[in-house]
Chain A
Amino acid sequence: MEAQHNVDPVTDILNEHRQKLLAYVLHLVGDINEAEDILQELQVILLQSPQMLTRAGDVFAYLRGTARHLAAGRHRLKSREGEVLRRWTEWAWEADSEPDEAAEIARTEQLEALRKCREQLPENTGKILGMRYETGLDPRSIAERIGANVTAIKVALFRARRSLAECIRRRLAEETAS
């Protein structure tokens, strides 16, 4: 007899939000292994108490809140540090609540645009961006790694983000026009 594989609703919901959540936790902790550990802890908590998900009005916001708490517990984040600016550093997550088909399509298109825009970055900028996001290094470690000044790395990251933002905007506008 063929075995049946039932995915429980909690895992189903987590899988649905997994990539977005992983990105959010990476934003909080910077380390891929640690981010994955936090998501796993989150899964365990939810599997133990699935009723909490049904009580949450905005599931993604709830998952983010819980993940944030777990991350804070590990890093003993100070309660005020970063809080004032959080609504701006986390604006892109705050703006995203319940899954919405159009928003998901927009996200996919933005990701595709980002991928193409990254290819157009100068080699060094692309390398620094890769170290920041893919390797998870902070500007100080990047500076140490490539023997550069920390300020130079910060400026490079700032310019890279700004030029990516402009490029994405332009690309999406061109695609809509065509």
Chain B
Amino acid sequence: MSEISCEDVLRHLNSAFDGEELGVELEESVAAHLDDCVSCARAAREMSSTHRLMLELVAKQIDSRKTGATQPAAAIERRRTSSRVKIRPARRNSPSNANVWWLAASAAAALVLLVLIANSGKNNTVAQPHPRPNPETPRNDSPALAEKRRAAQDEFARADQQRKRALSELVELERRRDHIDTPTNSTAQPPDKISAEEKERLDALAQLDAKRHDVEVELERAQNAQDRAHDELARVDGKSAMPAPAPITTPAGPKPLGQITQLGNNLDARIERAGKQVMLSPGEVLLPGDRVVTGKGPASPRVDVSLALFAGATVDLASETSIEISDADSCRLIAGRIYADVAKDPSAKTTGYRWTVKTAAADVGITGTRFSVSASTDQTQLQMEEGSVEFFNTHGKQRVSALQESVATAGVIPGAPVAIQLSAIWRGHNDIARAEVSDEIVLSAPQARLIGDDWQYVRDENASAQLVLESPKLQTRGARELTRDISKFTSFAVFSFKAEANRDYFIWVRGYAPSSKDPWKHDAVILFAPDSTMTEPEGPFKGNAGRGDASLFNGYSFEQGYWWVGGDSDRAADKLPPDTTPVSVRFNKSGEQLLKVFAVETPMRIDSIWISTTQKTRPEASRHGPLKTAK
């Protein structure tokens, strides 16, 4: 364990909750301590929960204020003028209009910026408006200081109004200029031959330009006044009350073309952006020219990165793949393999591709379909799952339809399509979803998430991971009492894992009942899998859990140490355990499943849970799963 003390670790963590940057070295030291120290880890988790609850309380208050009768005008105004470039209306939470106003506001903002940049001539840097000073901030000022602040705030507000007025006027002038800017046919004639109509147009333009010059001067004055008011406020406060705005050097950043949606375990996966490497994380946006690169993986291709493109395509990348997001309509597969699902656009015209995958040997023109492409420097293989595409290069093209394959080699027309089986197509997540589900699932204690305080982690050398779940309290709770309204019981350990629907899995739970006082009253847990059907053989004394999605695992006290129990194993001392047929579970849907463990008769320790399609008989107590045996 690192040398830093527990108290210091928690204090540093506490500072991190308040946004303090600790520095990478200290962070590593704190994290290492928390990884090693069970009690600190527990305290850290509690603090994290409290911090989150405090923030949720604030979020709740904000929401309840919003859903109240009206928002205070000041709050609305403050939000309207908060530190953003975007011009936006005060109304929020109107889903049907959200797109419309966002687009309109963006267009207006872009237009304003374009006007300013086009007319600035020397410098295309536009000052971002200052954030509005907050008049509600309570302060303990002297009357003179308060007066100065009020004056500066008023000046700031006046300048802000002038600035906005000037901006609107510029937009209007630009619109009028566009309207009359189209020259008449006579412009090619010598000046003395200019028509009266053209002369009138040129006069109007000159007037507009003169007016525009005046408005630009007015805008500059307003911005300077606002700067001065900002500085004055900073002086009054004795510090920089509002951060100086960063200049905007371009009218808008590059428009994102898509986003990373899922990541696999490929440590080398990355985005290469403008010569730099960007860390991959779900939600990372993709900009024009970005290259998404995956590193070396296992022999059978797996999905390392999934991305969604705003053009309407989702793409799974296998290992050792490099793809460049060229623009909104196309990408370039440099090497490797992708599986793409391109949604059909019902409003699309019949001509033109919705999306194009370019490779060295040939391009794939898509209107809406699902397919797999793998490419190297001189060859490209296209496999179609659904729909049809054009597969082409400068030498010619092929139309490739569902369940067909075509191979293109650089320098020649793509090969004629040949029929293939669906199973031959690499279908990204659609394949992996099936392959990831194991027949044998072993959930060991450290994988559990603890909710409430019934369960905790303790070290135990006899456990498979040396860490077990322990419910230490001496208690006996009725199984039926718990299962009658299971949602009321909010303390449990929960495991998540992947399993298939409509398949029988047998459940074995490796546990230990340490109580020496009435041990048969302190040796049971209940397993509950929402969205499942559990079948539990009738127990000898206590009966079963009494609902179709939970089971009682009981009778741990009848053996010494850890052993596997497959249901209700209660028995008379001289009899064999009755749970020779274990509890079985069928999940209602494939994919992610939850399994909750409730403390019923405790103290109890749980080492692992084995969910098996084959293990119908009780495993040896020393076994830790399908392969491992205890030392």
Contacts from A to B (Cβ < 8 Å): 6-8, 10-11, 18-20, 22-24, 26-27, 30, 32-34, 36-37, 40, 43-45, 47-49, 51-52, 55-58, 61-62, 64-70, 73, 79-85, 87-93, 95, 97-98, 100-103, 105-107, 109-111, 114-115, 129, 132-134, 138-139, 154-155, 157-158, 161-162, 164-165, 168-169, 172-173, 176
Shortest CB distance B532–A (Å): 14
Please state if A66 and B59 are interface contacts (CB–CB under 8 Å).
no
Chain B residues with CB under 8 A of A8: 95-96
Given the known interface contacts A23-B56, A62-B261, A84-B28, the answer about A89 and B48 at a Cβ–Cβ threshold of 8 Å is yes
Please state if A44 and B98 are interface contacts (CB–CB under 8 Å).
yes
| Complex partner residue of B31 from A88, A92, A155, CB under 8 angstroms | A88
Per-position binary interface string of chain B over residues 280-320, scored 1 when its CB falls under 8 Å from any chain A CB and 0 otherwise: 01111100000000000000000000101010101000000
Q: How distant is the Cα of A105 from the Cα of B314 in the complex, in angstroms?
A: 36
Partner-binding segment picked from B164-172, B389-397, B449-457 = B449-457
Q: How distant is the Cα of A99 from the Cα of B523 in the complex, in angstroms?
A: 31
Verify if B212 is at the interface (C-beta below 8 Å from A): no
| Complex partner residue of A91 from B45, B95, B488, B491, CB under 8 angstroms | B45
Please state if B53 and A168 are interface contacts (CB–CB under 8 Å).
yes
Given the known interface contacts A65-B283, A89-B13, A165-B49, the answer about A27 and B55 at a Cβ–Cβ threshold of 8 Å is yes
* A-B pairs with beta carbons under 8 A, tally: 239
Q: How distant is the Cα of A169 from the Cα of B226 in the complex, in angstroms?
A: 52
Verify if B332 is at the interface (C-beta below 8 Å from A): no
Please state if B490 and A106 are interface contacts (CB–CB under 8 Å).
yes
Given the known interface contacts A56-B262, A106-B451, the answer about A23 and B59 at a Cβ–Cβ threshold of 8 Å is yes
Q: How distant is the Cα of A43 from the Cα of B530 in the complex, in angstroms?
A: 30
Shortest CB distance B53–A (Å): 5
Q: How distant is the Cα of A68 from the Cα of B282 in the complex, in angstroms?
A: 9
Chain A residues with CB under 8 A of B262: 55-57
| Complex partner residue of A85 from B27, B60, B279, CB under 8 angstroms | B27
Partner-binding segment picked from B16-24, B372-380, B505-513, B561-569 = B16-24
Please state if B451 and A32 are interface contacts (CB–CB under 8 Å).
no
Chain B residues with CB under 8 A of A172: 452-453, 490-491
Q: How distant is the Cα of A43 from the Cα of B162 in the complex, in angstroms?
A: 32
| Complex partner residue of B82 from A19, A34, A110, A155, CB under 8 angstroms | A34
Verify if B148 is at the interface (C-beta below 8 Å from A): no
Q: How distant is the Cα of A18 from the Cα of B306 in the complex, in angstroms?
A: 25
A-B contacts, 22 of them at CB < 8 A, read A6-B96, A8-B95, A23-B56, A23-B58, A26-B58, A36-B62, A49-B258, A55-B306, A56-B262, A65-B281, A68-B281, A69-B283, A69-B284, A81-B23, A85-B16, A92-B45, A92-B51, A93-B52, A95-B449, A102-B490, A157-B14, A157-B18
Please state if A10 and B95 are interface contacts (CB–CB under 8 Å).
yes
Please give me the 3 A-B residue pairs with the lowest Cβ-Cβ distance, nearest first. Answer: A66-B283, A65-B283, A65-B282
Please state if A37 and B84 are interface contacts (CB–CB under 8 Å).
yes
Q: How distant is the Cα of A138 from the Cα of B489 in the complex, in angstroms?
A: 37
Residue on A with the closest CB to B45? Answer: A91
Please state if B283 and A19 are interface contacts (CB–CB under 8 Å).
no
Grouping DSSP codes into helix (H, G, I), strand (E, B) and loop, the A interface class, with mixed when no group exceeds half, is helix
Please state if A19 and B487 are interface contacts (CB–CB under 8 Å).
no
Residue on A with the closest CB to B23? Answer: A81
Q: How distant is the Cα of A19 from the Cα of B262 in the complex, in angstroms?
A: 24
Please state if B59 and A26 are interface contacts (CB–CB under 8 Å).
yes
Given the known interface contacts A102-B451, A106-B451, the answer about A22 and B13 at a Cβ–Cβ threshold of 8 Å is no
| Complex partner residue of B261 from A55, A100, A101, A168, CB under 8 angstroms | A55
Given the known interface contacts A8-B95, A27-B52, A161-B50, the answer about A154 and B490 at a Cβ–Cβ threshold of 8 Å is no
Please state if B18 and A85 are interface contacts (CB–CB under 8 Å).
no
Contacts from B to A (Cβ < 8 Å): 10-11, 13-24, 27-28, 30-31, 34, 43-63, 78-79, 82-84, 92, 95-96, 98-99, 102, 258-259, 261-262, 278-279, 281-285, 306, 308, 310, 312, 314, 343, 449, 451-453, 486-492, 494, 496, 530, 592, 594, 596
Q: How distant is the Cα of A173 from the Cα of B596 in the complex, in angstroms?
A: 19
Q: How distant is the Cα of A37 from the Cα of B452 in the complex, in angstroms?
A: 33
Please state if B79 and A33 are interface contacts (CB–CB under 8 Å).
yes
Q: How distant is the Cα of A64 from the Cα of B283 in the complex, in angstroms?
A: 8
Chain A residues with CB under 8 A of B14: 154, 157-158, 161
Given the known interface contacts A133-B57, A138-B19, the answer about A51 and B314 at a Cβ–Cβ threshold of 8 Å is yes
Please state if B57 and A158 are interface contacts (CB–CB under 8 Å).
no
| Complex partner residue of B13 from A70, A85, A164, CB under 8 angstroms | A85
Please state if A49 and B310 are interface contacts (CB–CB under 8 Å).
yes
Shortest CB distance A156–B (Å): 10
Chain B residues with CB under 8 A of A165: 43, 46-47, 49-50
Residue on B with the closest CB to A9? Answer: B95
Please state if B594 and A100 are interface contacts (CB–CB under 8 Å).
yes
Residue on A with the closest CB to B311? Answer: A49
Q: How distant is the Cα of A10 from the Cα of B285 in the complex, in angstroms?
A: 19
Chain A residues with CB under 8 A of B27: 82-85
Please state if B592 and A18 are interface contacts (CB–CB under 8 Å).
no
Q: How distant is the Cα of A162 from the Cα of B17 in the complex, in angstroms?
A: 13
Q: How distant is the Cα of A111 from the Cα of B488 in the complex, in angstroms?
A: 16
Q: How distant is the Cα of A24 from the Cα of B51 in the complex, in angstroms?
A: 10
| Complex partner residue of A33 from B13, B78, B98, B312, CB under 8 angstroms | B78
| Complex partner residue of A154 from B18, B78, B594, CB under 8 angstroms | B18
Q: Most B CB atoms within 10 A — which of A89, A102, A110?
A: A102
Chain A residues with CB under 8 A of B15: 139, 154
Chain B residues with CB under 8 A of A88: 13, 16, 30-31, 34, 44, 48
Please state if A19 and B56 are interface contacts (CB–CB under 8 Å).
yes
Chain A residues with CB under 8 A of B452: 106, 172, 176
Q: List 4 additional A-B contacts (Cβ < 8 Å) besides A89-B51, A161-B14.
A: A20-B56, A82-B21, A87-B31, A169-B46
Please state if A133 and B55 are interface contacts (CB–CB under 8 Å).
yes
Q: How distant is the Cα of A98 from the Cα of B592 in the complex, in angstroms?
A: 10
